[in-house]
Structure 1
Amino acid sequence: MSKSVLVIGGGVVGTSCAYFLSKAGWRVTVIDRGTIGGGSSAANCGFVCPSHVLPLAEPGMVAKGLASLLQKYSPLKIKLRPDPALWSWLIHFALRCNERDMLASARGIQPLLDASLALYHELVATENLDCEWESRGLFFVYKSKAELDAYAPTDRLLADSFHCAAKRYDGDAVLELEPALKPGLAGGWYYHEDAHLRPDKLMRSWRERLEASGVTFREHCGFKGFRRLAGRASAVDTDQGELSADAFVIAAGAWTPQLNDHLGCKIPIQPGKGYSLTMPRPSICPNVPMIFPETRVAVTPFHTGYRLGSMMEFAGYDESIHPSRLQLLRDGAAPFLREPTAEPVERTWFGWRPMTWDGLPIIDRTPALNNVVVAAGHNMLGLSMAPATGRLVAEILGEQAPFLDVAPYRVGRF
């Protein structure tokens, strides 16, 4: 008789865990406090980006963070408040803003990114996922020649240490790759291996495939606590009653720290709030997804729409949507694109990214409950890392040799 597993969290990471566990023969139930795929997995920019090897904690980031406190309209915003968890996180983050720690984190980030890209290619083909998958790369575009040149050492680092080199375009050569850009820009760096998809369609399609294979999904089913027996979890109390299983996966994203007391370990995740605007494709629509590093705005052209996304707010679990932050998305794209937006805006969205101070996720058994695995803390790369994470979780619970070295993702590092 097959074993049962309960996945707590129905975002892209939880869904991927459900997929690989189901493939491994587990009877899978997924619960979510809201709707399946309704959090940060729904309206992000959809990048599957092996180019994003480096963590947020990098040399110079402390100065940038301090400068943002003095800027009213900075894409990075920290709401300072008497919150010990936030201050502890900020201190640990600041201590890692050096090249040694940056490279150490990057060496843990890259395997998840590379493996997930390969797994996505396989999943989209074999499962026939309807998610508008495209392999068009990712283009970093600059207004300032000085900023363009300043990225060159980073490109060399990525090429030399991680075999991830970009192609440089200078001046109006960017128009050869992307005619939707305005003339007169300084140039850009193009990562050809990156891909993108429409995340809301991925979540719908993946859920349909999983339900057809016997996976059960329960929405509006909040976690309340574990029932314990001999150092293991035997069941969970939820808004819909008690649910028992042989094993459990915590894939609750930015909400995971609220379960620390239940897990018996410290999960130092801070919610990093981001925004996006989804609209119809402009008449002059880009072909290639882009990031404008000077304004920190990302642009994704889908087959059926168009999305602007950005911002990083450390403001706790603040559910407000500030019009000024949304305007930054428009203003951040306007200097670069001939037609930066279209009307009407179909969806205005915010979500919380699960940010760890070292940029690495947690993929590990909990110390208090041997049959509970945490799969959380993927920072801004949950979509990009989800398939590899799901496969690792299935291997950990199946007591198989993991296909990647899981040492960087141990919960004990905190």
Structure 2
Amino acid sequence: METNVQGRMTSLAVSHDDSDLLRKVGWRLVPLLMTCFVVAYFDRVNISFAKLQMQSQLGLSEASYGLGASMFFVGYLIFEVPSNVILVRVGARRWIARIMITWGIASAATMFVRTETEFYVLRFALGVLEAGFVPGVLYFFMQWFPAKQRGRIHSFFFGASALSGIIGGPLSGGIVKYMDGLHGLAGWQWLFLLEGIPSVMLGLLVLAMLDDRIEDATWLSAREKAALSAAIESEHKAADTRSFYAALREPVTYMLSLIYLSLCMGIYGIFFWMPQLVKTAGNADPFEIGLITTLPYIAAIIGTVLIGRSSDRTGERRWHLTGCVLAGLIGYAICATFGNSIVLLVLGLGIATTGLIASFALFWVFPPRVLGGVAAAGGIALINSIGQIGGVIAPFMVGKVKDLTGSASMGLYAIALVCALAATLIAWGLPRRIYFRDLDVASSSR
């Protein structure tokens, strides 16, 4: 009797209802990587708060600040694909740890910037060192979680960017205001120093806690390893496992890249300009600005989790994602139209931030449907790196428009139009084979 039970347990593959094992894996891996993402996005938050002091002290124009903020993405763009290819070869544990440690050092070094050129160089170096983090984590999730669960996993992971705003906003504003002048350093210098240290510490924690492969996990039993491995391997066999060069020849790769570029323009317009928009609406105190900017992020973290659960429960991705991007359009339009009203501005920021952060989680369900194996690692990195061009365009564009007109409104309207384009491409521009419901696949595999 006992032998039969053990045999049935050993042969058990992870089904979509086997929640205990997936919950165990999730609690082991996701909180740590979420924390890494929170710290990564501190840089998106702290650079916008550092601007409140740094810009005047270094004599930067609005366009110069926008260009400096954008230089991060130039380095990211150039080194994204090579970084992810190296990750596949050396393992996610060591490579993600390397990324965390080196970008923490580079972020802290920004405190020594004195000229516009130095600002550009360090921002570029930071992008080079951080390149590969997000696609590396997404590839790592592909090795550990079945497709049906990835919508929710991605929602938690990308929701961490909202958490970085909730934590980083008041923290950054408080450091800039209350530590200004301490030991002869400006508040913005303390900001870069104190928010670079956690990255180094987390890098060491990644080395200690992550496992590259399921079979390396000492915290899983033999039965759990076999079940989880069987589920993941069956999905990988069903996916396109051709080479990275085959992914380059796949038209859908570039359509997904264009959509992702649009999403990045939307989200980075918010990350880099939210504090300045709040300041323009009538609040000059850095700490109060930090508190106000938490409100859109609180809305986003709640909305992202709820939208991810809804999408996983129904298996529907296409219209969930389209709706999220349309929310970004509506939010930007409100911000551009009512930028002088703090209440309506925060409402618009909340709608846009919720929709766009949730859209990132849903978007990354699509690429693994057409890319697998080496094609997945390189293709995901390629899509992400092209998308980062949006991080180059949006901050500089809004800054340039503000320099020329004295208002950011036209730049915000332009990003709203980009959201409209993305929503159209998501709804009708992708091949029909990519639109299937995950529940349909689950049903057919039983």
TM-score, normalization by structure 1: 0.24
**Higher helix proportion (structure 1 or 2):** 2
TM-score, normalization by structure 2: 0.22
